[in-house]
């Protein structure tokens, strides 16, 4: 059941892949919507959105943006995008946002992080979990939405996967190539996030996944088949360090090493849904092939 339909909502990360796809869904649901952006001149968000200039790292603009807000989306991470230590930046941004949200009396913060890893977790996944913990201290209803790879036209992980398939008919496969994961379509993630704004008493942790569990090898092979390409020949090797893997990825894709290395470091961890969310949040998600086909259509339309 959904409640609180008429509410003031703040969206951060509105110019990113997930936030940009979430924004029209929130507008369609009738939210009184604000968006926090660092450069309003570069943010073309359309009508119906109050744009507030601000920056979570400096704290500038946060009090204005959060004033009168019921629900806030925190869709920000510093990995590969901000100078310096991404873990420190993530921690600083989350603390600034949490403190401002507490001052404003925000009821619910919805944060998108990663699924619980099977092992100890990479620096990237550990930082995501720390951000969730910081944000949870600020509001009565924290919601940590968790997902593995998001399959969308603008997703960095999906870009890396597709460009590897496009440019490498033969590749050396490090150990993580056989890791299982549960990728999810961008439309399913944003649909779940939109629902969580008004969902009655959601759990603090909400695990989101697509319809099937696949390995990274299977994803590359199936992606090639969907595109009508020959499946890449993958030669397995026992190890390939995250540093070498990131340079390998940078050599054949447009993903920067600063972003590629933390992403790849997390690929060694199996990330699948262990606790399905309550009914009504992520019902009937797309499978991998359907998610890829949708992402390809969106990419061709935007191009």
Residues 264-278 have pLDDT tens digits of: 665 677 889 999 999
111-122: burial string, b at 16+ Cβ within 10 Å, e else: bbbbbbbeeebb
Predicted local confidence at residue 235, as pLDDT: 65
Q: How many whole angstroms separate alpha carbon 110 and alpha carbon 89?
A: 19
CB–CB of 23/35 below 8 Å? yes
**pLDDT at residue 174 tops 80:** no
The structural architecture, per CATH, of the domain 8-148+186-209+272-283 is 3-Layer(aba) Sandwich (3.40)
Per-residue confidence band for 3, with pLDDT thresholds at 50, 70 and 90: very low
Choice between 166 and 284, residue whose per-residue pLDDT is larger: 284
**Between β-strands 8-12 and 71-74, what pairing exists: parallel, antiparallel or unpaired?**
parallel
Output the furthest CA–CA distance in the chain (Å, rounded). 56
The tokens for 289 are: 């092939």
Assess whether pLDDT exceeds 50 at residue 44.
Answer: yes
pLDDT (0 to 100) of residue 14: 93
Least confident interval from 107-111, 188-192, 218-222, 264-268: 264-268
Model pLDDT for residues 6-36, shown as the tens digit of each residue: 589 999 999 888 999 999 999 999 999 999 9
Structure confidence at residue 233 as a pLDDT band (50, 70, 90): low
**pLDDT over threshold 80, residue 94:** yes
Q: Looking at residues 193-202, what average pLDDT do you find?
A: 96
b/e burial code for range 271-302 (CB count within 10 A of at least 16 → b): bbbeeebeeebbeebbebbbbbebbbebeeee
Lowest mean pLDDT among 44-48, 69-73, 109-113, 132-136: 44-48
DSSP string, 172-211: EE-GGGG-EE--EEHHHHHHHHHHHTTBSS--SEEE---S
Nearest Cα residue to 12 out of 101, 114, 123: 101
- Per DSSP, the three-state class of 108 is strand
Phi, psi of 208, rounded to the nearest 5 degrees:
-120, 135
Global pTM reads 0.87
* CA separation for the pair 139, 158 (Å, rounded): 33
Domain definitions of the chain by residue range: 8-148+186-209+272-283
> d(Cα 65, Cα 67) in Å, to the nearest integer?
6
Using alpha carbons only, what angle is made at residue 151 by residues 109 and 257, rounded to the nearest 5 degrees? Answer: 90
Number of Cβ within a 10 Å radius of residue 83: 9
- Give CA–CA dist 279/42, Å, rounded: 38
Specify the pLDDT at position 4: 44
């Amino acid at each position: 059941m959904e409640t609180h339909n008429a509410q003031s909502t703040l969206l951060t990360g509105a110019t990113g892949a997930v936030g940009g796809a979430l924004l029209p869904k929130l507008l369609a649901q009738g939210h009184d919507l604000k968006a926090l952006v660092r450069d309003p001149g570069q943010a073309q968000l359309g009508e119906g959105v109050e744009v507030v200039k601000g920056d979570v790292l400096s704290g500038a603009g946060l009090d204005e943006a959060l004033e009168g807000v019921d629900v806030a989306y925190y869709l920000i991470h510093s990995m590969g995008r901000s100078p310096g230590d991404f873990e420190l930046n993530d921690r600083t941004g989350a603390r600034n946002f949490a403190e401002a949200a507490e001052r404003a009396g925000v009821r619910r913060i919805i944060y998108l992080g990663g699924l619980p890893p099977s092992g100890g977790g990479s620096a990237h996944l550990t930082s995501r979990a720390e951000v969730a913990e910081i944000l949870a201290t600020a509001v009565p209803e924290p919601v940590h939405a968790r997902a593995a790879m998001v399959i969308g036209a603008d997703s960095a992980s999906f870009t890396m996967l597709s460009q590897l398939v496009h440019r490498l008919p033969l590749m050396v496969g490090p150990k993580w190539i056989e890791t299982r994961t549960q990728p999810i379509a961008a439309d399913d993630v944003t649909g779940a996030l939109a629902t969580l704004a008004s969902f009655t008493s959601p759990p603090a942790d909400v695990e989101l996944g697509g319809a099937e569990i696949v390995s990274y090898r299977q994803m590359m092979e199936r992606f090639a088949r969907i595109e009508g390409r020959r499946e890449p020949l993958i030669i397995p090797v026992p190890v390939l360090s995250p540093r070498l893997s990131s340079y390998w990825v940078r050599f054949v894709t447009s993903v920067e090493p600063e972003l590629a290395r933390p992403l790849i470091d997390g690929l060694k961890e199996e990330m699948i849904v262990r606790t399905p969310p309550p009914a009504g949040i992520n019902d009937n998600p797309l499978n991998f092939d359907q998610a890829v086909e949708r992402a390809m259509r969106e990419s061709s339309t935007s191009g």
